[in-house]
Amino acid sequence: IAEILRLNPKPGDSNQVTTKQLQIIPDFHVSNNDGVLILTLNSKNAPELRVSRSYIDMFDHYDKAATKDKKLKEAVQFVKQKLDSAKWFIDAIKQRQQTLLKTMNAIMQYQYEYLLTGDERKMRPMILKDIADKIDMDISTVSRVANSKYVQTEFGTFLLKSFFSEAIQTESGEEVSNKEVKKILEDCIGNEDKRKPLADEKLTDILKERGYNIARRTVAKYREQMNIPVARLRKEL
């Protein structure tokens, strides 16, 4: 029974492909220029598009012809349709790029202190609605960007979704990100005596001592989200 208690109740988790195993090409770069954050769109993911000059010249040549037979008129109409389609496509790409930049810029401004320092304790509570309201777009649009785009920072490359977190109110009334609480839990577990690992109840007490009034079930949820096993599975002889 003692051996069974040490087994991982979720053995399949170890076979999952993690983000770290994937080759990620970031969509944005955020750099720190003497305390000022600079945001750029990755040019490899956003090449500059333009209509071929030869097709524009061809259209002008056909369109300005002194006389037009049926075939020439059809050729002019065909080239015009293709040029219009190309311009529409380029405009759509540019609009998409502007949406990406507006969304990422709003996130950067919201999480400015965190992106300057890399300190998770500086991360502010932020939900999709906060960004959607800021850039005057639908929550669904922000959600699509957050769930599929990555940003490269001086502290690593992150999925935009990772910058979003729910707010937790401390005893002093201050609202902090739940990522701050997760960081405290991670540090406590990392520094624990592995012969006597901290149970969720004890972790809850530690958080309460620091001003975070959080239920034990919430502590357990955060621990599981960080892929940290229960105390009995962390015990080392």
Instruction: Return the pLDDT at 19.
Output: 45
What is the crossing angle of helices 216-225 and 178-190, to 10°?
Answer: 80
Question: Which of 158, 157, 166, 164 shows the shortest CA–CA distance to 143?
Answer: 164
Looking at residue 2, its pLDDT comes to 61
CA dist list (Å): 39 to 32, 96, 117, 205, 237: 9, 16, 16, 41, 49
Instruction: Note the CATH number of domain 166-234.
Output: 1.10.10.60
Question: Does position 21 have pLDDT exceeding 50, yes or no?
Answer: yes
> In degrees to the nearest 10, what's the CA dihedral of 14, 156, 111, 31?
-170
Structure tokens at 32: 């720190």
How far apart (Å, rounded) are the C-alpha atoms in residues 179 and 163? 9
pLDDT tens track for 81-105: 888 898 899 898 889 899 999 999 9
Q: What is the pLDDT of residues 149-188, one digit of tens each?
A: 999 999 999 999 999 988 888 887 778 888 889 989 999 9
Distances (CA, A) of 184 to 97, 149, 163, 170: 37, 27, 17, 14
Model confidence over 43-84: pLDDT tens digits? Answer: 777 677 888 788 788 778 777 776 777 887 887 788 888 888
CA distances from 132 to 23, 75, 152, 188 (A): 29, 46, 22, 35
Give the ranges where 49-172 is alpha helix by DSSP (H): 53-63, 70-110, 112-117, 128-135, 139-148
pLDDT at 7 over 80: no
Cα distance between residue 96 and residue 90, in whole Å? 10
pLDDT at 172: 77
pLDDT the model gives residue 20: 47
Mean pLDDT for the stretch of residues 197-219: 92
Size of the chain, expressed as the number of residues it contains: 237
- Tell me which residue of 87, 89, 96, 83 sits closest to 45, measured CA to CA: 96
What's the pLDDT at 139? Answer: 93
CA distance 94 to 86: 12
Domain boundaries, the chain: 25-163, 166-234
User: Residue 144: pLDDT above 80?
Assistant: yes
Mean pLDDT of the chain: 86
Mean pLDDT of 108-134: 92
